[in-house]
């Protein structure tokens, strides 16, 4: 089987990006791997209209919050196979990732052989989950979870970036400096973000975003 186009490997750990890149090239020797180490780099690729044939996405990318990065990328690349890679191996986290649109889930503890197998299976149109994970028969996501996912997906790349910085506790002045825009621009983004999330202020936005925390699912 030949994989046409680019493969995105998005992870903040250089050694694990290297391992994923090796797994991709073992499965598809002619694949062109594009790397990203944070949400900012990821969004610059999407802003530029970069096309991919496979997405390998760290669940805890810097700049994302919980499942928000997965939701954002799933909406941007709706028909592309997407595999989540994560150190969180709890069944609830894995099943939530699938419900949010992942086609597969590779634990970071997986061997190279297993990673290659998972990539091949997903690219063949199959779903791949760790063998110890039993099928989930009842949906885990509530209506409000789906509503929040739609809100996150509706954000523009810049708004998503601002929301991530807001969740980290940064002030408008700090966000404006890092994004090299005016505070007035950030305030406009904030207004749009609050409207899309159905909240009135920063605190409410952060509280709503906490519903996407991976930790809250892994604790269940």
Going from the N-terminus, what domains does the chain have, and what CATH number goes with each? Answer: 6-123 (3.40.50.2300), 143-218 (1.10.10.10)
For residue 9, what are the β-bridge partners?
Answer: 35, 56
Residue 216 has pLDDT above 60, yes or no: no
Residue 8: its pLDDT value, please? 95
Residue 88 has pLDDT above 60, yes or no: yes
Q: Which residues contact 129 (CB under 8 A, 6 or more apart)?
A: 94, 98, 104, 105
Question: Mind listing the pLDDT tens digit for each residue in 15-29?
Answer: 999 999 999 999 999
Residue 4 has pLDDT above 80, yes or no: no
Would you call 188 exposed, middle or buried from its count of C-beta atoms within 10 A (0-12, 13-18, 19+)? middle
The share of the chain scoring above pLDDT 70, in percent, equals 95
Place of tokens 């990318």: 61
- Which of 36-40, 47-51, 74-78, 121-125 has the weakest average pLDDT? 47-51
Structure tokens at 181: 């825009």
Residue 12 has pLDDT above 50, yes or no: yes
Other CB atoms within 10 Å distance of the CB of residue 91: 17
For residue 57, what are the β-bridge partners?
Answer: 10, 84
Please state, in angstroms and rounded to a whole number, the distance separating the CA atoms of residues 36 and 33.
10
Residue 117 has pLDDT above 90, yes or no: yes
Other CB atoms within 10 Å distance of the CB of residue 151: 18
Structure tokens at 191: 């207004």
Please state, in angstroms and rounded to a whole number, the distance separating the CA atoms of residues 33 and 207.
36
Q: Report, in this order, helix, strand and coil percent for the chain, each rounded to 5.
A: 50, 10, 35
Burial 154-174 (b: 16+ CB within 10 A, else e): ebebbbbbbbbbbbeebebee
Question: Mind listing the pLDDT tens digit for each residue in 29-62?
Answer: 989 999 999 888 888 888 787 889 999 999 988 8
pLDDT category of residue 214 using cuts at 50, 70 and 90: confident
Pick 44 or 148 by higher pLDDT: 148
- Which of 47-51, 121-125, 167-171 has the weakest average pLDDT? 47-51
Residue 199 has pLDDT above 90, yes or no: yes
Residue 142: its pLDDT value, please? 87
What is the mean pLDDT of the segment spanning 122-135? 91
Residue 63: its pLDDT value, please? 84
**Residue 196 and residue 162 in contact, taking contact as beta carbons nearer than 8 Å:** no
Q: pTM for the full model?
A: 0.89
């Amino acid at each position: 089987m030949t994989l046409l186009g680019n493969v995105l490997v998005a992870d903040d750990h250089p050694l694990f990006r290297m391992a994923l890149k090796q797994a991709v090239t073992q499965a598809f020797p002619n694949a062109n791997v594009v790397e990203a180490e944070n949400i900012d780099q990821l969004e610059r690729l999407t802003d530029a209209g970069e096309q991919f044939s496979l997405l390998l996405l760290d669940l805890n990318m810097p700049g994302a919050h919980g499942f928000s990065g997965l939701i954002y990328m799933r909406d941007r690349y709706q028909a592309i196979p997407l595999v989540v890679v994560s150190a969180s191996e709890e069944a609830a986290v894995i099943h939530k990732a699938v419900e949010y649109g992942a086609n597969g889930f590779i634990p970071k503890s997986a061997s190279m052989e297993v990673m290659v197998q998972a990539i091949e299976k997903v690219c063949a149109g199959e779903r791949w989950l760790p063998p110890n994970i039993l099928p989930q028969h009842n949906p885990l996501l509530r209506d409000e979870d789906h509503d929040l996912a739609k809100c996150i997906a509706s954000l523009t790349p810049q708004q998503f970036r601002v929301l991530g910085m807001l969740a980290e506790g940064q002030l408008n002045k700090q966000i404006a400096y890092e994004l090299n825009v005016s505070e007035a621009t950030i305030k406009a983004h904030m207004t749009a973000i609050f409207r899309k999330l159905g909240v009135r202020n920063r605190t409410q936005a952060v509280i709503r975003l906490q519903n996407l925390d991976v930790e809250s699912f892994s604790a269940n």
